[in-house]
Amino acid sequence: MIIQLSEQITATQRETIISCVLKLGYKPNDVTTQKGRYIVGIGKKEFDIRMLGSMPGIVDIHRVSDDYKFVSNKWKVNRTVIDLGDGVLIGDGSLAIMAGPCSIENEKQIEDTINHLKENGVGIMRGGVFKPRSSPYAFRGLGIDGLKLWYSLARKAGIKIVSEVMQVSQIEEMVDYVDIFQVGARNTQNFNLLDELGKVDKPVMIKRGISGTIDELLSSAEYVFSAGNEKLMLCERGIRTYERASRNTFDINAIPILKEKTHLPIIADPSHGVGIREYVEPVALAAAVAGADGIIYETHQKPEEAFSDGQQTLDFAESARMIQKLNKVRQLLTSY
Ligand code: PEP
Ligand code: MN
């Protein structure tokens, strides 16, 4: 169960509620986020909800049978909308587009990408400065100095940025230079990282693990929420299957399933999802039709020269075409 507490609750009222929750056979956990104060009770026993409902200090109480509680759709009437400021919203019914290179490489590349995004009305740029690479000899990113340079150029252009954080120690150095922390597929179940991201007041996008289930993704999101951060979104980025014709298998099913299970915005990453440039556009369009709240993909001035993931990266002409098609799909969907 989730108990929403009033902001003015007194310490005595809280203690009385907790002892009542314990008496019902539930384990109470205190949760304070940017948006509210809660007690989440973990247990299975049936009880009459009215026993708690009228207690002073309680605003509302919800039964949630899922293993994950806060990220479940079962208690929230409205879907979560992430507000990045300056009118950039994710999950408000528009289709958020986040585009940029796999890796941030140099100033010229950042400027070229920003110009491309501005010309096409895209408000969020992606890019990695800490890169998880399968080989230790591959390019591993420009690090924090690259992030600072990128951030200052993006800010001047009015562009928001999303970048991957790989470990706890990077959170503090990155926090003032990102608009969204990305948790990569190799870190979906790095529970220490998730706990710490729960303590910052910055949106977090969690990618689905390479071999992760939908429920595991939701449980990862529960870590961040229950540690205090409600500004969360999830990303389907393809999973590893026996199929070798594509880099990963984009799980289109995950989009409507996640939309049903959670109130969090759902983002689709067709670049990593399919891993082959020619198929990025059809997969992106399919994800938009399936109900994704946003699309994140890789684009580069010269994909064949990209430091990483060039084989799945769109050039700017392909990217511009795809943005136009995505906008048309969104218009079509909202006209129904
Ligand atoms: C990326 O976004 O560049 C990335 C490494 O993604 P993933 O964690 O999904 O592999
Ligand atoms: Mn990549």
pLDDT (0 to 100) of residue 64: 95
- pLDDT score for 50: 83
Statement to judge: residues 194 and 99 lie in one domain: yes
Indicate whether 57 and 142 sit together in one domain: no
The amino acid sitting at 291 is G
* Residue 164 counted as domain residue: yes
* pLDDT tens figures, 214-250: 999 999 999 999 999 999 999 999 999 999 999 999 9
Segment 98-121, tens digit of pLDDT = 999 999 999 999 999 999 999 999
Two tokens at 53? 């409902």
Residues 129 and 161 occupy one common structural domain = yes
Kindly tell me if the per-residue pLDDT of 95 is higher than 80: yes
| Closest ligand 1 atom to Cα of 131 | 5
Best residue among 124, 135, 164 to mutate for probing ligand 1's pocket (most ligand atoms within 8 Å of CB) is: 164
User: Is 75 a domain residue?
Assistant: no
- Sequence-distant (6+) residues with CB within 8 A of 248 are 210, 237, 238, 239, 240, 241, 272, 273, 274, 275
Check pLDDT > 90 for residue 335: no
Query: Are 193 and 242 in the same domain?
Result: yes
Residues 196 and 97 both lie in one domain: yes
Distance, in Å, from the CA atom of 330 to the CA atom of 291, rounded to the nearest integer, reads: 9
Q: Tens digits of per-residue pLDDT, 268-281?
A: 999 999 999 999 99
**pLDDT score for 154:** 98
Domain with residue 42: its CATH number is 3.30.70.1140
Residue 157: Cβ within 10 Å count:
15
Residue 73 lies inside a defined structural domain of this protein: no
pLDDT tens string 36-92: 999 999 999 888 888 888 899 999 999 999 999 999 999 998 999 999 999 999 999
In ligand 1, which atom is closest to the CA atom of 185?
8
Same domain, 243 and 119: yes
**Same domain? 133 vs 57:** no
The boundaries of the domain holding residue 40 are 2-62
- Output the CA 325–ligand 1 centroid distance in Å: 24
The DSSP output letter for 155 is: H
Look over the chain and give the mean of its residue pLDDT values, rounded to a whole number.
Answer: 97
Say yes or no to pLDDT of 336 above 80.
no
CATH number at residue 146: 3.20.20.70
Residue 189 within a domain: yes
Question: Whole-angstrom distance between the N-terminal and C-terminal Cα of the chain?
Answer: 36
- Strand residues in the chain grouped as ranges (E): 2-5, 27-32, 37-42, 58-62, 82-83, 89-90, 96-100, 124-126, 160-164, 180-183, 204-207, 232-236, 266-268, 294-298
pLDDT bin (cut points 50, 70, 90) of residue 10 is: very high
Domain membership flag for residue 70: no
Return all residues near 245 (Cβ < 8 A) that are at least 6 apart: none
pLDDT of res. 66? 95
Task: Please report which ligand is nearest the Cα atom of 238.
Answer: 1
Same domain (yes/no): 150, 238: yes
- The residue nearest atom 4 of ligand 1, judged by CA position, is 184
Q: Residue 51 has what pLDDT?
A: 83
Last residue of a domain, one of 14, 30, 62: 62
Q: What pLDDT was estimated at residue 49?
A: 84
Q: Nearest residue CA, atom 6 of ligand 1? A: 184
- 201 and 138 within one domain: yes
Statement to judge: residues 113 and 15 lie in one domain: no
Would you say the CB of residue 116 lies under 6 angstroms from ligand 1? no
Asked whether residue 67 is assigned to any structural domain, the reply reads no
Establish if 232 belongs to a structural domain: yes
Q: pLDDT value at position 48?
A: 86
**What's the pLDDT tens digit per position in 162-215?**
999 999 999 999 999 999 999 999 999 999 999 999 999 999 999 999 999 999
Q: Mean of the pLDDT values across residues 288-298?
A: 98
Q: What's the number of domains the chain is made of?
A: 2
Strand bridging mode 96-100 / 124-126: parallel
Same domain, 55 and 174: no
∠10-13-19 over CA atoms, to 5°?
Answer: 140
* 74 found inside a domain: no
When pLDDT is cut at 50, 70 and 90, the band that residue 285 belongs to is very high
Same domain for 249 and 112: yes
